[in-house]
Chain A
Amino acid sequence: MGFPHPNHPKETIVLSQYFGDADARTYAGWVKRGGYEALKKALGMAPEAIVEEIKASGLRGRGGAGFPTGLKWSFMPKGDHKPHYLVCNADESEPGTFKDRELMRWTPHQLIEGCAIGAYAIGAERCYIYIRGEFTEPWRVMTKAVEEAYTNGALGANVFGTGKRIDIVLHRGAGAYICGEETAMMNSIEGRRGNPRIKPPFPAVAGLFGMPTTINNVETLTAVSHILNRGAAWYKGLCLSSPKSTGTKLFSVCGHIMKPGNYEVTMGFPMKSLIHDLAGGMRPGRRLKAVIPGGSSVPIMNAVEAEAALCDYEGIVAQGSMLGSAGFIVMDDSADIVYEIYRLAKFYAHESCAQCTQCREGTAWTTKILERILKGQGKREDLDLLLDLSEQMTGKTICVLSDSCATPIVSGIKKFPEEFDAYLSRAKAPALAAV
C-alpha cells in the first residue's frame, strides 16, 4: 500500500513510528524526534564497543538470510590499512516485499543514521546505498535527505565536529532483481554486469573494489540507532518466542488480504494473528489457502502451517518454510497454486543472470513445463521431471536464484498435488490458452 495504515494495538512500533509523518522526512523534523543522537553517541564510542552492543542485541540480518549483524561486522579486518566499505542493500526487489521502500520513503534519516553508525563501527569512511531503480520516490526522498545530512554536518569530512569522515553515496540500480544479491550488487556498483561472484572470497575479505566490505539490509541498519539509544538489553527483550530472534520486524503482507501493508511486530508474533487480526483477514467468504512468507524465494506454506507458525527465523522454519525477507504473499481459496508457481518461475527465468547453466536453462525450462500444464497439455511425467530438474537446480549454482525458482515448485507439488492433478487429468479447464 502506498499510504500507511493506522497502527494496530498489537503492533510494536519502533521502526515504523513515523510512517505517514512528512515532517519526519526532513533533517530538522528528524532531529526534533530525537534523531542523530545515536550517531553522536556512537562517534564517542570505540567501534568495537558498538559491534559488541549490536552483538548483544541479537539483531540479525533483515534481508533474508538472518545472519547475526554484530558478528558480520566483527568479521571486518582490523588495522589492515585498506579502505573499508559499507553497502546498504536497498534494492528490495523480492516479490511481495515492500518494507525497505517505506522505511526510505518516510524515515530517510533513520537509514542515514544507521548507515553512518554502521560505517563507523566497521571502520568505513564510505557507505554506498544501492537503491532499486524502480523506487523513484524513495530515490528522491533519500537524495534530499543525504543532501540535508551533509549540510547539517551529519555526513562529510568532519561529522558533528568529531573529525571523523563518513560519506554516503546513493547508487541507483537499473532494474535487475539479481543486483539485490550482495556480490552482484558489488559488481553493479563497480560498473560491471550484475553477476553474483563466487564465494570465497567473502565480502569482509575482498568485497567492493576488492576491499573489505559489509553489506546490510535497510531494515537492519535502521534498527541500529534504536539499539544504541535504548540499549541492547531492551532490544534483546523484544522477543516472543525463540531467543535467537530478537527485536521488531516489519512484515509486508500482500495478496488476498483485506488490509495489505507493512506491520511491525515483535519477533515471534503468531502468523495467524498477523494475517487475521492485523491485516484484516480474508475477503468475505474466502478462506486461507497458502502463504509464501519470505518474499517468493521460500517454500509455500499451506493454511495449517501458516496459522501454526510464529513469525521469527526459527518459527517459520519449524513450519516448513523460511522467514526470508518477510514479505507475506497471502493466497485464499480462489488462488490457482499452479498458476502462481508458474508466474514466479517466469519471474526467475526472466531475472536469471545467465551465468550458471542450471539456472539459465533450468528456470526457463521449468517455466515452459508449468506453462504446458496450465495449457492443459501436461503429462503425468511432468511432475517427476519438474522435481528432478528442481533438485538439480538446488545447491549447485553460485547464488541462490536457481534454488529460489525450484523452492516454490517443489513445495507446491508436495503440498498442493491435487491442484496439479486437476490440470493433468484435464478435470480443470486450461488456465492459459493453448497455442
Chain B
Amino acid sequence: MSDLVNVTIDGVAVAVPKGTTIIEAAKQAGVLVPHYCYHPSLPSPAVCRMCLVDVEKAPKLLPACVTTVAEGNVINVNNEKSKKARESVLEFLLINHPLDCPICDQAGECELQDYVFQEGRANTRYGDYAKRFNPVEDFGPDVLYVANRCILCTRCVRFMESVADEPVLNVSERGDRAFIGIDPDHLLTHPWSGNVVDLCPVGSLISKDFLHKARAWDLDKTASICPGCTQGCNTMIDTRDDIVVRLRPRANLEVNRHFICDTGRADYRWMNRGDRIEAPLVREGGKLIPTDWDHALARLAELTRGARSIVILASGRASTESLGFVRRLADHGTVTAAVKVPLGTEAPLAGVPNLALRKERAPNLDGARLAGYAATWAGALAAAPGADLVLVLDADIDDAEAATLARARSAVVIGTVDDDRIHCANLLLPTTNMAEENGTYVNRDGRVQRYYQAKAAPGMARPAWWIAAEAGHLATGASAPKTAAAAFATLSSSMPGLGGLTYADLGHTGRVVSPATTGAAR
C-alpha cells in the first residue's frame, strides 16, 4: 500500500498511485478539472492555467496537470478560489475569441463553449476593442487553421513535435499577437496529422472534409473499430440521419491511445454507398430473381449440403462472427478458405509504441486465422473452378477473379455492393457492411474488439453470420444464434483461440486472446 497516496478531492477520498497528477487523481474521484492544454497523450506544458486548483496549505493555486499528489492533500476543484481563477481564464480567453459559434464546426463539442457555459461570466468586460484578427490559413490536405478562434493551448504543436516527430508547427509571435505558425515549406502531410483537429479543444483547427457538414448536436455516435488495417484502432462513427459523416479516434490506451491515421479517418464513404444488393437474388432460368429470405436460405442450405468441396473467398473486413459461421457451413466437406489482404505501405506514429497504419489493409486477419481461413488467396482462387461450391463473403472481386468465379460449378455471394462481376453467382445474398452490424475484429496483437451498429442496414440485408447460421440450421438442424452476442458466444465456446470469452468480457477496449501469434511474428 505504500505506493498509494491518499488524497481528498472535493470531499471524495481516493487512493492513487504515487506520481499521479492531480488532474488524473481527480478523475478517480469523479471530478473533472476543466483544462485545455493538458492531454493524456501529450507532454504537459501547463500553459492554459485553466486547471489551477486550490490545494490546502499551498500558498498559490497549483496546475493540476503537472502537480503530483502528495499524501494527505486536500484539493478543492470547485471552491470559490478555484472557480474564480477559471472564470478569469475563460474571460481572458474570450476577449480575443470571435464567438462565431453559429458558423463554427466545433460548436456543440467545443471545450471553450462548454466551460464558458458551465462557469464563465455572463457578459464581457472587454468593452469595444476590436478582437485580434488573423486570416484563415491552409495547413494541409484536410486541415484549416482558423487563427481567430485559437486559444494557444499548443496541443497541435506538441502533437507534431513529440508524437508525430515532424515539428512543422510552432507558436509564432509573442504576447496577444501570438498564433500557430507552420513551416512555410511544409503542410500537415504527415500520415497522422489529422489528429490535430481532434486535439484542438476549440474550432481553430478544423477538418476540410467535415467543414459545415453537420452540427455536432445532430450527430449520433457509435463506438467502432477502424476497418482500415490490422492495427484495430478504436474509433467513433458519427452519423447524421443514418449517413456516416465522420470517423474519429476513440481512446484505447493499449491500441491507439487517442489517435487514428488520416487514411483510416478519410475512409468512410463506402459505408454510405447506395448501390447495394437489397434483396436475396436467386438464379432461375438464367436470371437473377429477387426472392424472400425463406426461399434464399433454403437454397443456400441445399447448395452447401450437396457440396463436398467448398472454397470460401472472404473479405478481411468481415466480422469474426461472420467468418466463423460461414466457415461452419462447410464443416462437412473439404474446405479451402482464404481472406483477401490488400497491401499498402506502413506508416508508424513515432511517439506511440506499436502504433502504425499497417501494410495489411484489412482489420480481421487474425479473426480469420482463428476461424480457420488457412489458405492463401491465390491458392483458394486456384481451387475455385474445381470445387463443388464457391462461397464469396463480401470480398472485392476484380475482373480476373470474376472470370475464375464464373468457371465455378456453383457460386454463392454474400455481398454488400451490387456489381456485375458477381452476377455469375447462383445465389446473391445481401449482407450488412461493418457500420450496419454488431461484430468483433481480432487485431494483429490478438486483441478481440467489439464494434457496434452505427446505421440501419439497407433493404433486406442481414449480417453474414445470421445468413450462414440460418442456412446451417436448415441444413443440419444446428441451433442458430439470434444476436451477434450469441453468435460470438457460440463460436467462442467451440474455437479454442477465443478462449470462451463473451461480449460482456470484451468491454469497450477488448481482450487479448492469442498474444503468441501477434502480428509481429507475421
Q: Do A and B come from one complex?
A: yes
Given A356-B47, A357-B47, A360-B176, 12 extra CB contacts under 8 A: A176-B174, A198-B66, A354-B174, A355-B45, A357-B92, A357-B151, A358-B89, A361-B96, A365-B176, A392-B89, A392-B92, A395-B59
Q: Which chain B residues in 73-119 approach chain A with CB under 8 Å? A: 84-85, 88-89, 92-93, 95-96
Q: Mark A384-416, 1 if CB is under 8 A from B, else 0.
A: 010001001001111000000000000000000
CA distance A365 to B151 in the complex (A): 15
Q: Which residue of B lies closest to A176 (CB)?
A: B174
Answer yes or no: A351 CB below 8 A from chain B CBs.
yes
- B46: which of A198, A353, A365 is its contact (CB, 8 Å)? A198
> Which residues of the other chain, A, contact B89 by a CB distance below 8 angstroms?
357-358, 392
Q: Scan residues 364-390 of chain A and give those whose CB is less than 8 A from a CB of chain B.
A: 364-365, 368, 372, 385, 389
Closest B residue, CB atoms, query A392: B88
**Nearest A residue to B94 by beta-carbon distance?**
A361
Whether a CB of chain A sits under 8 angstroms from the CB of B126 is yes
Segment from B6-14, B48-56, B381-389 that makes contact with A: B48-56
B173 partner residues in chain A, CB cutoff 8 A = 354
A361 touches B85 (CB 8 A): no
Size of the chain B interface, CB-CB below 8 angstroms: 34
Determine if B47 and A361 form an interchain contact, defined as CB atoms under 8 angstroms apart. no
Query: For residues 145 through 180 of chain B, which have their beta carbon under 8 Å from a beta carbon of chain A?
Result: 151-152, 170-171, 173-178
- A-B contacts counted at CB < 8 A amount to 86
B63 contacts A198, CB within 8 Å? yes
B61 within 8 A of A: yes
Q: How many residues of A contact B (CB 8 A)?
A: 28
Q: List 29 A-B contacts (CB under 8 A).
A: A176-B174, A349-B175, A350-B175, A351-B174, A352-B176, A353-B175, A354-B173, A354-B177, A355-B45, A356-B47, A356-B49, A357-B48, A357-B49, A357-B92, A357-B93, A358-B88, A360-B92, A360-B175, A361-B93, A362-B92, A389-B88, A392-B92, A395-B60, A395-B61, A396-B49, A396-B52, A396-B60, A398-B46, A398-B47
A363 is an interface residue with CB less than 8 A from chain B? yes
Task: Tell me the complex Cα distance, A385–B124, Å.
Answer: 11
User: Please, how many angstroms separate the alpha-carbon atoms of A353 and B177 in the complex?
Assistant: 10
A352 touches B174 (CB 8 A): yes
Contacts of A363 in B (CB 8 A): 175-176
Interface set of B (CB-CB < 8 Å, partner A): 45-50, 52, 59-61, 63, 66, 84-85, 88-89, 92-93, 95-96, 125-127, 129, 151-152, 170-171, 173-178
Query: In the complex, which residues of chain B have a beta carbon less than 8 angstroms from the beta carbon of A353?
Result: 174-175
Contacts of B84 in A (CB 8 A): 392
- The interface residues of chain B lying within 8 Å CB-to-CB of A357 are 47-50, 89, 92-93, 151-152
A350–chain B nearest beta-carbon distance, Å: 6
| Bound form: Cα–Cα A385–B50 in Å | 20
**A193 CB-CB contact with B under 8 Å:** yes
User: Which residues of B are found within 8 Å of A389, using beta-carbon distances?
Assistant: 88
**B66 contacts which chain A residues (CB < 8 A)?**
198
User: Which single member of A350, A360, A392 contacts B152 (CB below 8 Å)?
Assistant: A360
Docked pose: A389 CA to B60 CA in angstroms: 17
Q: Which of chain B's residues has its CB closest to A350's CB?
A: B175
User: Which of B52, B63, B125, B178 meets A354, CB within 8 Å?
Assistant: B178
Q: Mark A274-307, 1 if CB is under 8 A from B, else 0.
A: 0000000000000000000000000000000000
A369: nearest chain-B partner, CB-CB: B127
| Minimum Cβ distance to chain A for residue B267 (Å) | 37
Q: Is the CB of A364 within 8 A of B176?
A: yes
B95 lies within 8 A of A361 (CB): yes
The docked-state distance in angstroms from the alpha carbon of A371 to that of B231 is 58
Q: Are B45 and A354 in contact (CB under 8 A)?
A: no
Q: How far is the CB of B518 from chain A (nearest CB, A)?
A: 35
The 7 closest A-B CB pairs, nearest first, are A354-B178, A364-B176, A361-B92, A392-B88, A352-B175, A355-B47, A395-B60
Complex Cα distance, B125 from A385, in Å, reads 8
Min CB gap B98→A, angstroms = 14
The answer to whether B92 and A365 touch across the interface, beta carbons within 8 angstroms, is: yes
CA distance A363 to B176 in the complex (A): 8
Q: Which of B49, B52, B60 has the most CB of A within 10 A?
A: B49
Residues of A within 8 A of B178 (CB): 354, 360
Please pick, from B49, B126, B175, the residue contacting A397 in the complex, using a CB distance under 8 A. Answer: B49
Q: Report whether B129 and A354 are in contact in the complex, using a CB–CB cutoff of 8 Å.
A: no
CA distance A353 to B178 in the complex (A): 9
Task: Pick from B50, B61, B176 the residue with the most CB of A within 10 Å.
Answer: B176
Contact A193 B49 (CB under 8 A): no
List the B side residues contacting A349 at CB < 8 Å.
175-176
Distance of A248 Cα from B357 Cα, bound (Å): 65
Q: Say yes or no: A354-B49 contact (C-beta < 8 A), given A361-B93, A365-B126, A396-B60.
A: no
Instruction: Specify the chain A residue showing the minimal Cβ separation from B179.
Output: A354
**Complex alpha-carbon distance, A396 and B177, angstroms:** 21
Contacts of A365 in B (CB 8 A): 92, 95, 126, 176
Tell me the minimal C-beta distance from A369 to chain B in angstroms: 8
Q: How far is the CA of A69 from the CA of B325 in the complex (A)?
A: 77
Q: How far is the CB of B262 from chain A (nearest CB, A)?
A: 27
Interface bits A244-267 vs B (CB < 8 Å: 1, else 0): 000000000000000000000000
Whether the Cβ atoms of A368 and B175 lie closer than 8 Å is: no
